[in-house]
């Protein structure tokens, strides 16, 4: 450690994951030296780091305050909690803690749209990005979704559309005039936060220094507390006011609208489900704030079919529709999917759920289960405890695998039903991530047809 302290490297990168490596590429590109540190003794990408940066010191093992205090700035990857004792000590001694968001905003030369929310942020980010492309703009799309934001920096870009998680927002103090939105807030990552209030506070950092703010008028937790002078617009699934986006119910059906002007029939959207109408409205509000032409946005809504594993249509077998919402990793996402696909006139859904519960309160699922769901097929690490919490809301089965859960759902399904994978849980007990879990579901569904 003394050798490190003696060097002229005044920046430490904590975390050797995708974000840490993107920070290293960026710092290298501007000629700034740095040191790597990771609390793991054998991080998965260690060989890649040592091959790409053979001259850069790498410190492994528990973070030590003495090491961090030797640097002017410490760039913290989002997976690292800020209550780590070494980080707390560094902050107390005025060491500057940064995330990749601050570096990105300092160097982005085009307008920036920042998107967060408990659910729907990836869909909205991708949708706004495609709206911008349809408008003829060169746009960088990424952040928490896809490409790390520092890798998107390009002086040729005319717009950036960036998805941010609550973890990425924890160190943000000024968004430097970004167009910012919180789509919705429901309890998530309660294994990291002390409660909803702390999670809410992290999300609301996205509004600091924003030039325009978009919020969900039907979710009071997204309502910004801002000084006068910031331009506001809102969206919701109810009737809109004059300068907001919403839904008009006309004789001919349901329309997405701006004020009293119908823009597109909900039946024309390529993405399905009531929650995706809200995503479309949010995307239009963001696009309008960025000056995108309405025609290009409406054309995109007619073509955009959504993202993989986010309420993705898989198959229809014997009149039963199978939907892959493996990205539904928290209760709020699953509630949104149930409300989006459920039929209040009959219990038409069979829900496949379970995994790592992340300390969530699953009793919040009871009401939509009672209303829309005829059977819940649970599997994974916390399946039994979830089943105990949900007892009495509907029929519940606990299984040992995804394949068993799909078989159970198929046996119970009748023509007109929807089998929905929306786990409300993290996937790492049995899968490498939500993508592998979704692929496993799709394989189990299509295996019978094959």
CATH at residue 199: 3.40.1190.10
Residue 291 CA from chain centroid, whole number = 24
Q: What are phi and psi of 52, to 5 degrees?
A: -75, -30
Mean pLDDT (whole number) for 343-362 = 90
Which residues share a beta bridge with 378?
A: 353, 398
Question: Could you report the per-residue pLDDT of 24-58, keeping only the tens digit for each?
Answer: 999 999 999 999 999 999 998 999 999 999 999 99
Strand order in the sheet with 312-317: 312-317, 320-324, 418-421, 349-353, 373-378, 395-398
Q: Note the pLDDT of residue 87.
A: 96
Residues 89 and 124 in one domain: no
Give SS3 for 383. Answer: helix
Q: Note the pLDDT of residue 411.
A: 96
CATH at residue 406: 3.90.190.20
Residues 440 and 393 in one domain: yes
Q: Note the pLDDT of residue 192.
A: 77
How many CB atoms sit inside 10 A of residue 19's CB?
27
Residues 48 and 131 in one domain: no
| Encoded tokens for 274 | 């009531």
Q: Which residues of 119-143 are buried (b: 16+ CB within 10 A; e: fewer)?
A: bbbbbbbbbbbbbbebbebebbbbb
Parallel/antiparallel/unpaired status of strands 373-378 and 395-398:
parallel
Residues 58 and 75 in one domain: yes
Residues 345 and 434 in one domain: yes
Residue 187: pLDDT over 90: no
Residue 224: pLDDT over 70: yes
Residues 370 and 227 in one domain: no
How many CB atoms sit inside 10 A of residue 9's CB?
17
Residues 262 and 287 in one domain: yes
Q: Note the pLDDT of residue 71.
A: 93
Question: Which residues have a catalytic role annotated?
Answer: 121, 144, 189
Residues 162 and 277 in one domain: yes
Q: Note the pLDDT of residue 437.
A: 98
| Encoded tokens for 350 | 């069979």
End position of a domain, from candidates 303, 329, 353: 303
Phi-psi domain of 117 (left: phi exceeds 0; alpha: psi -120 through 50; beta: other): left
Sign of CA dihedral 222, 223, 226, 230: positive
Question: Could you report the per-residue pLDDT of 104-133, keeping only the tens digit for each?
Answer: 999 999 999 999 998 899 999 999 999 999
CATH at residue 59: 3.40.50.720
Strand order in the sheet with 11-14: 58-60, 35-38, 11-14, 73-76, 96-98
Question: Could you report the per-residue pLDDT of 274-323, keeping only the tens digit for each?
Answer: 889 999 999 999 999 999 999 999 999 999 988 889 888 899 999 999 99
End position of a domain, from candidates 52, 75, 98: 98
Count of domains forming the chain = 3
**Unique residue bearing structure tokens 């479309």:** 280
Residues 249 and 321 in one domain: no
Residues 68 and 94 in one domain: yes
C-alpha to C-alpha distance for 205 and 169, rounded to whole angstroms: 6
CA-CA distances (angstroms) from residue 314 to 193, 308, 336, 442?
35, 10, 19, 7
Give SS3 for 393. Answer: coil
Q: What are phi and psi of 180, to 5 degrees?
A: -125, 145
Domain that holds residue 47: 2-98
Question: Could you report the per-residue pLDDT of 244-271, keeping only the tens digit for each?
Answer: 999 999 877 899 999 999 999 999 999 8
Q: Note the pLDDT of residue 9.
A: 60
End position of a domain, from candidates 249, 282, 303: 303
Q: Note the pLDDT of residue 2.
A: 36
Residues 93 and 106 in one domain: no
C-alpha to C-alpha distance for 234 and 213, rounded to whole angstroms: 8
| Encoded tokens for 103 | 């570096």
Residue 407: pLDDT over 80: yes
Residues 192 and 239 in one domain: yes
Helix, strand, coil percent values for the chain (each to nearest 5): 35, 20, 40
C-alpha to C-alpha distance for 25 and 100, rounded to whole angstroms: 12
Q: What are phi and psi of 144, to 5 degrees?
A: -65, -25
């Amino acid at each position: 450690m003394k050798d490190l302290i003696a060097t002229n490297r005044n920046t430490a990168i904590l975390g050797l994951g995708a974000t840490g490596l993107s920070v290293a590429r960026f710092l290298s590109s501007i000629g700034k030296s740095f040191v790597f540190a990771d609390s793991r003794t054998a991080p998965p990408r260690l060989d890649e780091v040592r091959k790409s940066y053979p001259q850069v010191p790498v410190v492994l093992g528990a973070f030590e305050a003495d090491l961090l205090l030797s640097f002017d700035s410490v760039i913290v990857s989002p997976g690292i909690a800020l209550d780590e004792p070494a980080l707390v000590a560094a902050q107390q001694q005025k060491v500057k803690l940064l995330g990749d968001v601050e570096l990105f905003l300092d160097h982005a030369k085009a307008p920036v749209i920042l998107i967060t929310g408990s659910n729907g942020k990836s869909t909205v980010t991708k949708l706004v990005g495609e709206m911008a492309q349809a408008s003829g703009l060169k746009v960088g799309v990424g952040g928490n979704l896809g490409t790390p934001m520092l890798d998107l920096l390009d002086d040729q870009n005319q717009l950036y559309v960036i998805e941010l998680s609550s973890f990425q927002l924890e160190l943000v103090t000024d968004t430097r005039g970004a167009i910012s939105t919180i789509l919705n807030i429901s309890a998530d990552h309660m294994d990291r936060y002390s409660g909803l209030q702390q999670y809410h506070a992290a999300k609301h950092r996205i509004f600091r220094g924003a030039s325009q703010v978009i919020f969900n008028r039907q979710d009071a937790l997204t309502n910004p507390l801002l000084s006068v002078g910031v331009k506001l617009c809102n969206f919701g699934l109810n009737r809109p006011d004059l300068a907001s986006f919403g839904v008009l119910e006309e004789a001919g059906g349901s329309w997405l609208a701006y004020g009293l002007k119908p823009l597109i029939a909900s039946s024309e959207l390529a993405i399905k489900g009531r929650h995706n109408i809200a995503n479309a409205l949010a995307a239009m509000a963001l696009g309008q704030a960025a000056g995108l032409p309405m025609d290009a946005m409406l054309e995109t809504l007619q073509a955009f079919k959504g993202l993989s594993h986010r309420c993705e249509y898989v198959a229809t077998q014997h009149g039963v529709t199978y939907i892959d919402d493996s990205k539904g990793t928290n209760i709020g996402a699953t509630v949104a999917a149930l409300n989006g696909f459920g039929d209040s006139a009959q219990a038409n859904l069979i829900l496949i759920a379970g995994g790592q519960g992340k300390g969530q309160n699953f009793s919040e699922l009871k009401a939509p289960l009672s209303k829309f769901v005829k059977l819940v097929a649970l599997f994974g690490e916390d399946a039994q405890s979830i089943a105990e919490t949900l007892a009495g809301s509907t029929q519940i089965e606990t299984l040992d695998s995804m394949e068993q859960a799909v078989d159970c759902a198929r046996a119970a399904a009748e023509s007109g039903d929807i089998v929905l994978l929306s786990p409300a849980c993290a996937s790492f007990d049995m899968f490498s991530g939500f993508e592998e879990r979704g692929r496993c579901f799709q394989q189990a569904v299509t295996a019978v047809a094959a």
